[in-house]
Chain A
Amino acid sequence: MRPLYRFNGGVHPPQHKEESSGHPIVPAPLPARLVVPVHQHIGNPAKPLVQPGDRVLKGQLIAQAEGYVSAAVHAPTSGTVSTVAMHLVPHPSGLPDLCITVEADGEDRWIERQPIDYRELDASTLRNRLRDAGVVGLGGAVFPTFIKLNPGAQQRVPTLILNGAECEPWITCDDRLMRERAAQIVAGIAVMRFMLGSQEVLVGIEDNKPEAIAAMAEACAQSAFPIEVVAVPTLYPAGGAKQLIKVLTGKEAPSSGRSTDVGVACFNVATAYTVHRAVDHGEPVVSRVVTVTGNVREPRNFEALIGTPVSDLVAAAGGAREGTDRLVMGGPMMGFDLPSPEVPLVKACNCVIAASPALFKPAPAPMPCIRCGRCARACPVELQPQELYWFARAKNFGKAQEYALFDCIECGCCSYVCPSHIPLVQYYRFAKSEIWAREKEKKAADLARERHEFRQLRLEREKRERAEKLAQKTAAKAAPAPGEADAKKAAILAAVERAKAKKAAAAPRNVDNLPPEALEEIAKIEARRAQVRDMARRPVAEEKEP
Chain B
Amino acid sequence: MNPPYVTGSSSVSTIMLKVLLALLPAVAAYVLLFGPAILIGIALASATALACEAFMLRLRRYPIKPFLLDGSALVTAWLLALAMPPLAPWWLVVVGTAFAIVVAKQLYGGLGSNLFNPAMVGYAVMIISFPAQMTQWQAPHALASLHLSFLQELQYMFGGTLPDGAKLDAVTMATPLDTLRTQLKLGHSVETIRQMPIFGAFSGKGSETVAWCYLAGGLLLWQQRVITWHIPAAFLATLALAAGAFYLHDPAHFAPPWFHLMSGGAMLGAFFIATDPVTGATTPKGKLIFGAGIGLLTYIIRAFGNFPDGVAFAVLLMNICVPLIDAYTQPRVFGHPTKPGRGTQQ
Contacts and interface: CB of A to CB of B under 8 A. Distances in A.
Tell whether A and B belong to one assembly.
Answer: yes
Interface of A: 7-8, 11, 13-14, 169, 242, 246, 252-256, 326, 328, 330, 332-337, 355, 360-365, 367-374, 376-377, 380-384, 386-387, 401-404, 407, 412, 415-421, 423, 425-426
B341 A403 contact: yes
Contact of A372 (B15, B66, B332, B345): B15
B87 to A, nearest CB: 33
B3 A367 contact: no
Most buried by A among B1, B331, B345: B1
B197 interface: no
Interface string B320-345: 00000010001111111100110101
B6 A416 contact: yes
B334 A401 contact: no
B12 interface: yes
Interface of B: 1-8, 10-12, 14-15, 66-67, 70, 72, 110-113, 228, 277-278, 280, 282-283, 326, 330-337, 340-341, 343, 345-346
A330 B5 CA distance: 11
Contacts of A368: 110-113
Nearest to A377: B228
Contacts of A360: 1, 5-6
B12 A381 contact: no
Given A364-B11, A372-B15, A419-B11, A334 B341 contact: no
Nearest to B112: A368
Given A360-B1, A372-B15, A373-B277, A415 B7 contact: yes
A15 B161 CA distance: 64
A320 B181 CA distance: 75
Contacts of B2: 423, 425-426
A502 B14 CA distance: 69
Given A332-B6, A380-B334, A415-B7, 16 more contacts: A13-B6, A242-B334, A254-B335, A254-B336, A255-B335, A333-B4, A335-B5, A337-B1, A373-B228, A384-B282, A384-B330, A384-B331, A387-B330, A403-B341, A420-B112, A421-B7
A441 B113 CA distance: 34
Contacts, number: 144
A385 B110 CA distance: 21
A7 B334 CA distance: 9
A242 B330 contact: no
8 nearest A-B pairs in the assembled complex, by CB-CB distance: A368-B112, A412-B4, A360-B5, A255-B335, A372-B277, A332-B5, A419-B10, A381-B334
Nearest to B72: A370
B334 A252 contact: yes
A387 to B, nearest CB: 8
A386 B282 contact: yes
Contacts of B3: 330, 332-336, 412, 425
Q: Which of B11, B112, B340 has the most CB of A within 10 A?
A: B340
